[in-house]
Chains A and B, each alone.
Chain A
Amino acid sequence: MTTAIQNIQATYAFMERNANLVKRYWAWELVWMTYSIANSLSVSFIGLGMEALSGQEANIDGRFLVLYLVIGTLVWRYLTTVFYWITEVISIERWEGTIEYTLMAPVRRVVHMAGQTIFAVFYGLFFTGVIMGVTVLIFDLDLSQANVLGGLVMLVAGSFSFIGISIMVSVLPLLFPERGAQMTHIVIAVLLLVSGVYYPIEVLPKWLQVVGVASPATYVLDGVRLALLEGTPTLSLWPQIWPVILMGAALIPAGLWVFNLAERYAKRAGKLARNG
């Protein structure tokens, strides 16, 4: 059997395993989906709330605000779904007690990550798609002028940079068996603050805006909003697309390098063992 076929089998192994886990933990997935929908709707209602609170003199376009916030919540939900599936590459194994079996299998880490990442992207798109369907129905959003394909291209392009960040962050549960999984939330919290998920980054203090420029989520949100709010053609989204592709091209190899270093350290320090 050629190495290529072995690698495909191993990649598929992680995708199939994760699909089986989603199937077996369906009740939890349903709870999480309901929570996510309620969360997205709550944030989006702020748009209508602002219109109602400000009165007609303020001339606030509530429908525009709703769409602005809906895009923020959907893009953020997608990016965080991808992020958490990848960062859980180790913590899920620690939770189940299978970490040693997975890491002693003859699988290159890049193949391991590929399987986890492909599943994360597909699952993220499905998950976000369901939330988007419910949101569009409830707010009766008009997407007839929107460039949905452009938005999707922007989202997928932005995935690469988030994948790189996620691989890098996934070393935390490897290095810190007890609290590593919780540490990953810090990264997401900072990205949420500086990336303009629910507001333009121009409202942030200057120094936070500088941090925001380094966040791939900033470009993804800009690009998706241009595509969906203004119907910007896909090719015209290039100024938003190239930075995230560039970041992805740098962050994915960097993430794998960091992960390999951390794995080697974990093997030296005996941090792979679940017990003792």
Chain B
Amino acid sequence: MTTNAIIVNKVTKRFGKSTPALWRKLRPGKNGSGKPEASGPVLALDSVSFQVKQGEIFGVLGPNGSGKSTLIRLMATLLLADEGNVTVHGLDPAVTPLAVQQLINRVSVEASFFKKLSPMENLIYGARLYGMGGKEIRRRVVEILTRLGLEKRSIYNPMEEMSRGMQQKVAIARALLSRPKILLLDEPTTGLDPVSKREVQAVVQELKERDGTTILLTTHDMNEAEILCDRVAIIHKGKLIALDTPEALKDLVPRLNGHKPSLEDVFIHLTGDKLKEEEKEDIEAAQSMVRALTQEHQEPADQIEPALLEQEKE
């Protein structure tokens, strides 16, 4: 029987204060910069639930700001949920963070390193934090980095002298070094050239097949999701709006000119209408902002609004 490696149970996460600061209460409608007050906290995740099976590659797709990275940070013990809970191999990151941290590692869209230090120095630092030591680390660092296509000489040069693609490969090496049971990949191939992208994808596939590592992957690359992921979840505005295998998701969308839709078609179909609604909301918010500003400064609103109305028509 396949067990669940990750269970996300009705998780809700908001950012920002729910109650304004005292000084803002004293000056309603203003935040000191002359701009209208922001309307409360931002809902990053809205009662999201799903399970990731042990050994599967689980994709999370969603537009920018949809809550993908928030989800990963919750699993990585870097955030605490407001409601609901996450369990990683039965452990709650909020209750036993150290035990969860032993099981996971993460690669984010930004390859974050000590820029002046070399890949070797950065990776040894990372490995020691996970309890590894001795000469064995150096050998493994060289082995992993050369496997990812790094030249030996660049292993000892400062990270700042490397291209972004190379830095991202070092980030992947850092995650692999600790042999995690669960690997959280937050847009790991964003900004990589096609060759590097394929190399990274091959490593991800190999990790699953050879080591049985459970992988949670967020990406904007639909082709990547289709190639790598056993199942894909689509989240939008913090809500889970679809979850199935890539093939089953394609059946959600009607055929276009007799052709089976791609995962990208599914993504646009499921999030596109909502994106239009978002744009409408943005325009309405801008209009109300203009009204507030013109009332404040006694300027006629009809001088400013036509441009926004034109934009709305488009």
Contact = CB atoms under 8 A, between A and B. Distances in A.
Contacts of B131: 1, 5-6, 9-10, 106
B128 A104 contact: no
A276 B70 CA distance: 10
A106 B114 contact: no
B112 A274 contact: yes
Nearest to B100: A106
A139 B133 CA distance: 47
A9 B134 CA distance: 10
Contact of A105 (B70, B116, B130, B158): B130
A12 interface: yes
Interface string B150-171: 0000000010000000000000
B125 A267 contact: no
Contacts of A269: 15
B80 A264 contact: yes
A20 interface: yes
Contacts of A100: 73, 76, 78, 106, 108, 112
B121 interface: yes
A86 B117 CA distance: 20
Interface of A: 1, 5-6, 9-10, 12-13, 16-17, 20-21, 24-25, 96-98, 100-108, 264, 267-270, 272-276
A272 B78 CA distance: 7
16 contacts: A5-B133, A20-B114, A21-B117, A25-B116, A96-B112, A96-B115, A97-B113, A98-B112, A100-B108, A101-B112, A101-B126, A103-B78, A104-B101, A105-B129, A106-B98, A273-B78
Interface string B286-302: 00000000000000000
A101 to B, nearest CB: 6
B133 A267 contact: no
B124 interface: yes
B211 interface: no
Interface in B85-136: 98-99, 101-102, 104, 106, 108, 110, 112-117, 121, 124-126, 128-133
Nearest to B124: A16
Contacts, number: 100
Contacts of A9: 128-129, 131-133
Given A9-B132, A104-B77, A106-B99, 19 more contacts: A5-B131, A10-B131, A12-B133, A17-B121, A20-B114, A24-B117, A96-B113, A97-B112, A98-B112, A101-B126, A103-B77, A105-B101, A106-B101, A267-B77, A270-B70, A270-B79, A273-B73, A274-B110, A274-B112
Contacts of B70: 270
Nearest to B99: A106
Contacts of A17: 114, 117, 121, 125
B262 interface: no
Chain A to chain B: the 5 pairs with minimum beta-carbon distance, closest first: A13-B128, A6-B131, A106-B101, A105-B129, A24-B116
A104 B184 CA distance: 12
Given A104-B101, A104-B106, A273-B73, A21 B129 contact: no
Nearest to A17: B125
A108 B98 contact: yes
A92 to B, nearest CB: 9
A13 B133 CA distance: 9
Interface in B259-289: none
B15 A270 contact: yes
